[in-house]
Amino acid sequence: MDKTDALSAFAALSQETRLDVFRLLIEAGDAGLVAGEIAETLDVKQNTLSANLSVLLHAKLVKNQREGRAIRYFANTSGLQGLLGYLLEDCCGGRPDLCRPLIENLTC
């Protein structure tokens, strides 16, 4: 991930609804959620959700899959890995022992 992609991801996550959507999709895991489920869970109007999902898609933080008339959304874990990798690329001046507590807090 380069600086432009990182800035796009941070901009996408800097809005409350988009951050809530992203966290919800992280929680949903591999099953993802259809747009209607996301809207209902977060009490967001469909058109507002659609615009926010578009921003997250453009930032490569979510991906989608059409299922008939519905669209299922998933957290794009490779996009998240790229963002975290960009942030931690030079972590602790090359001393991984100093980064270990941070990394341990990130693992499930």
pLDDT range class, residue 106, cuts 50, 70, 90: low
- C-alpha to C-alpha distances, 50 to 27, 39, 67, 72, 96, nearest whole angstrom: 20, 9, 16, 12, 41
pTM of the model: 0.85
Give the pLDDT score at 35. 96
How many Å is the maximal CA-CA distance in the chain?
Answer: 50
pLDDT value at residue 91: 73
Q: What's the pLDDT tens digit per position in 8-54?
A: 999 999 999 999 999 999 999 999 999 999 999 999 999 999 999 99
What is the CB neighbour count within 10 angstroms for residue 50?
Answer: 13
Q: What is the CATH number of the domain that holds 47?
A: 1.10.10.10
d(CA 104, CA 74) in angstroms, rounded, equals 24
**Residue 107 confidence (pLDDT):** 60
Tell me what pLDDT residue 1 has. Answer: 86
Of the candidates 81, 70, 73, the one whose C-alpha atom is nearest the C-alpha of residue 25 is 73
How many folded domains does the chain comprise? 1
pLDDT at 97: 76
- Consecutive H or E run containing 71: strand 70-75
Per-residue model confidence as pLDDT tens digits over 46-76? 999 999 999 999 999 999 999 999 999 999 9
Q: Which domain holds residue 44?
A: 3-106
CA 25 to chain centre: 7
